[in-house]
Amino acid sequence: MSRGLEAVQPLVKLLSKYSPSGDEEEAQQEVFSLLLANGFENVRRDPAGNVLGEKGDGGRTLLFCSHVDTVPGLIEVKLESGRIFGRGAVDAKASLVAMALAASNYGGRSLRLLYSSVVGEESDSKGVRRLLEEIPAPDYVIIGEPTGIRAAAVAYRGSATVSIRVSTQGGHSSSPMDDFNAIVQTMRLVEHVKTRMTFSKDLFSNIGVSITMIKGGYGDSRIPDSCEARLNLRYPPPIGFEKLSRMFSTVLNEYVENMGGAMKTDYEFLDHLDGYASAKDQVLINAVREAVRKTLGRELLLIRKLGTSDFNYTGLKWGRPQLAWGPGDPSLAHSSLESITVEEFMQGVEAYRVFLNSLASSLASG
């Protein structure tokens, strides 16, 4: 086996432990062994199933945090044409393994490293929620998420799930009247909400509206008189949930009133998590910038992500300088083609290594 392929074996082994949310045990055992093999101290499990380890010492603490769970959908683990395939290869086992390998020789005396492999990020985020209770607030946070090594995210949008029910009088399909078809009205209503929640050409600043479930109709000669749908709303900071819910209510009522009594609606928000934008701490950013320059010979790009992740939880709770940063093409996350090149994975290891040493050095000299 070539040296390059040897270096990716820890990732291949972790990918071989299929770990959809709620079934992370075998994968976490692999992470536990990985930390021990790379010299981490105080390696342990917490009640949620997270794996934690520590390295170095000092008055400041850096948290490396990524998630071991994946979305469902088994993908054959294989090395082919310079790519590593497997569920989680992008989101986010490449970051998880690269962070551990990058710290293998770390022993800084100015910065303590805390590493955490959390569970449940793709479902209820129970892992990071437990972590927030388990440890004191660190000084700096890196969330391992696929941004591509050149880019680091400073902000994520929030997420809210809302269930809506549309009622109409229905009718006979031989005389179709769309105004009284609950399914048609639901689709029209959603399009109205999408239009009214679009404020800017900047996608991050808009409120994203996606239908994730729709149910209605009888499959016979009746025009549907009821329809249920579930929507996912992605909203930017500084819009909080209270403002979002008022906006949604206003837009919904606006459409119903315009229909002049042809329909009724009920809705209920099922969950929500606000967005978060981190302060642009120059010590943290400069260390990442140096890592990108030395690893890729390019300049760092600071981006804002349209989605939601554990970044939101840590930011909202602690308010400390943080970035989401890691190897992998985010467009392949959750897809049937999820994979990462061997080259990018190894660049990820090197970038994290340079970053860790750079941050420690800057704090020692400061």
Residues 95 and 145 in one domain: yes
Residues 68 and 164 in one domain: no
Q: Torsion over CA of 256, 260, 263 and 264, rounded to 10 degrees?
A: 60
Residues 78 and 218 in one domain: no
Which residue pairs, CB below 8 angstroms and at least 24 apart, start in 124-129?
124/21, 125/310, 125/313, 126/48, 127/48, 127/49, 127/50, 127/67, 127/69, 127/310, 128/65, 128/67, 128/310, 128/313, 128/314, 129/48, 129/313
pLDDT at 358 over 60: yes
As a whole number of angstroms, the distance between CA 191 and CA 208 comes to 11
Residue with tokens 């701490």: 281
Over residues 85-91, the mean pLDDT reads 98
Over residues 64-80, the mean pLDDT reads 97
Over residues 289-306, the mean pLDDT reads 98
Residue 176: pLDDT band (50, 70, 90) is confident
Of 257, 273, 289, which one is at a domain's C-terminal end? 273
As a whole number of angstroms, the distance between CA 101 and CA 39 comes to 10
pLDDT at 20 over 90: yes
Count of CB atoms within 10 A of residue 336's CB?
9
Q: What is the CATH number of the domain that holds 222?
A: 3.30.70.360
Rg of the chain in Å (alpha carbons)? 23
Residue with more model confidence, 335 or 6: 335
Q: Which domain holds residue 99?
A: 3-156+275-365
Return the percentage of the chain with pLDDT > 70, whole number: 99
Residues 94 and 148 in one domain: yes
Residue 362: pLDDT band (50, 70, 90) is very high
Q: What is the pLDDT of residues 192-240, one digit of tens each?
A: 999 999 988 899 999 999 999 999 999 999 999 999 999 999 999 999 9
Residue with tokens 């770390």: 106
Residue 331 half-sphere exposure toward CB, CA atoms < 13 A: 0
Residue 141 half-sphere exposure toward CB, CA atoms < 13 A: 31
pLDDT of residue 299: 98
pLDDT at 365 over 90: no
Residues 265 and 300 in one domain: no
Contact 228, 149 (CB under 8 A): no
Residues 241 and 352 in one domain: no
Residues 250 and 117 in one domain: no
Over residues 259-269, the mean pLDDT reads 94
pLDDT at 5 over 80: no
Residue 79: pLDDT band (50, 70, 90) is very high
pLDDT at 306 over 70: yes
Residues 54 and 177 in one domain: no
Q: What is the pLDDT of residues 103-122, one digit of tens each?
A: 999 999 999 999 999 999 99
pLDDT of residue 1: 39
pLDDT of residue 6: 80
Residues 172 and 92 in one domain: no
Residues 90 and 230 in one domain: no
Which regions of 192-288 does DSSP assign to beta strands (E)?
Answer: 208-216, 222-223, 226-235, 264-273, 276-277
User: CA of 131: how far to CAs of 49, 137, 223, 352, in Å?
Assistant: 10, 10, 50, 22
Return the percentage of the chain with pLDDT > 90, whole number: 95
As a whole number of angstroms, the distance between CA 325 and CA 103 comes to 16
pLDDT at 127 over 70: yes
pLDDT of residue 177: 84
As a whole number of angstroms, the distance between CA 174 and CA 22 comes to 49
Over residues 74-102, the mean pLDDT reads 97
pLDDT of residue 4: 57
The dihedral built from the CA positions of residue 233, 236, 242 and 244, taken in this order, carries a sign that is negative
Residues 16 and 143 in one domain: yes
Mean pLDDT over the full length of the chain: 96
Note if the bond before 182 is cis, omega within 30 degrees. Answer: no
Over residues 318-332, the mean pLDDT reads 98
Of 228, 256, 273, which one is at a domain's C-terminal end? 273
